[in-house]
């Protein structure tokens, strides 16, 4: 069994993961509107990943016989000026999520909740990847600059995700 406080904190994180999913789905929709097929595909995959993150927590609460409480998902933006802005926001957002996961780790340590601490290690590693992939794409966009042909190839590359 986990504490009530931990149960509430994980439920809040489920909401945050679903908000992330919703954010990336909105980016995917906006990229589709802008004709950026590869960017749209990348964010659609990102949406799937975030839902998996949420469901992994749902599964853990189930194993611990703790109640899942789904709270309303706050509104997300609907348009961005360009792909670069989307990926900048993605990186900033992922840094915030990393801090949230670390706060959960702190709580698990404080409560000597070894099972939750162990489960959270997966998320700690995942966040390293999440930040790195957004960072990598931003670096690629730096090379692309204003070159339309290079951007076309960049977009095609993202479609392969
Ligand atoms: Fe769930 O890692 Fe992104 O937000």
pLDDT score for 84: 97
Are 6 and 109 spatial neighbours (Cβ–Cβ below 8 Å)?
A: no
**Rounded distance between C-alpha atoms, residue 152 and residue 1, angstroms:** 52
Share of the chain above pLDDT 70, in %: 100
pLDDT score for 53: 98
pLDDT score for 93: 98
**How does residue 49 score in pLDDT terms, banded at 50, 70 and 90?**
very high
State the closest ligand 1 atom to the C-alpha of 16, by its place in the atom list counted from 1.
Answer: 4
Q: Where are the beta strands (DSSP E) in the chain?
A: none
**How does residue 90 score in pLDDT terms, banded at 50, 70 and 90?**
very high
Ligand 1 pocket, residue 13 CB under 6 Å: no
State the closest ligand 1 atom to the C-alpha of 49, by its place in the atom list counted from 1.
Answer: 1
Ligand 1 pocket, residue 17 CB under 6 Å: yes
Ligand 1 pocket, residue 155 CB under 6 Å: no
**How does residue 89 score in pLDDT terms, banded at 50, 70 and 90?**
very high
**How does residue 82 score in pLDDT terms, banded at 50, 70 and 90?**
very high
59-82 mean pLDDT: 98
Indicate if the pLDDT at residue 60 is higher than 90.
Answer: yes
State the closest ligand 1 atom to the C-alpha of 54, by its place in the atom list counted from 1.
Answer: 1
**Rounded distance between C-alpha atoms, residue 57 and residue 65, angstroms:** 12
Indicate if the pLDDT at residue 95 is higher than 90.
Answer: yes
What is the per-residue pLDDT across 16-34, written as a single tens digit (0 to 9) for each?
999 999 999 999 999 999 9
Are 43 and 158 spatial neighbours (Cβ–Cβ below 8 Å)?
A: no
pLDDT score for 116: 98
Ligand 1 pocket, residue 90 CB under 6 Å: no
Residue count of the chain, please give it: 161
Which conformational region is residue 27 in: left (phi greater than 0), alpha (psi within -120 to 50 degrees), or beta? alpha
What is the per-residue pLDDT across 114-140, written as a single tens digit (0 to 9) for each?
999 999 999 999 999 999 999 999 999
**Rounded distance between C-alpha atoms, residue 108 and residue 118, angstroms:** 9
Of 42, 51, 25, nearest to 133 by C-alpha is 42
Indicate if the pLDDT at residue 161 is higher than 90.
Answer: no
């Amino acid at each position: 069994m986990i504490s009530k406080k931990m149960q509430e904190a994980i439920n809040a994180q489920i909401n945050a993961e679903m908000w992330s999913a919703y954010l990336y789905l909105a980016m995917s929709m906006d990229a589709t509107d802008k004709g950026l097929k590869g960017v749209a595909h990348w964010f659609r995959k990102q949406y799937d990943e975030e839902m998996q993150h949420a469901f992994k927590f749902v599964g853990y609460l189930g194993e611990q016989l703790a109640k899942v409480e789904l709270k309303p998902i706050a509104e997300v933006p609907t348009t961005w000026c360009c792909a670069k802005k989307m990926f900048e926001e993605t990186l900033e957002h992922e840094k915030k999520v990393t801090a949230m996961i670390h706060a959960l780790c702190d709580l698990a340590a404080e409560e000597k909740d070894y099972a939750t601490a162990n489960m959270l290690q997966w998320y700690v590693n995942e966040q390293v990847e999440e930040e790195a992939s957004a960072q990598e794409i931003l670096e690629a966009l730096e090379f692309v600059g204003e070159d339309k042909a290079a951007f076309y190839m960049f977009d095609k590359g993202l479609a392969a995700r």
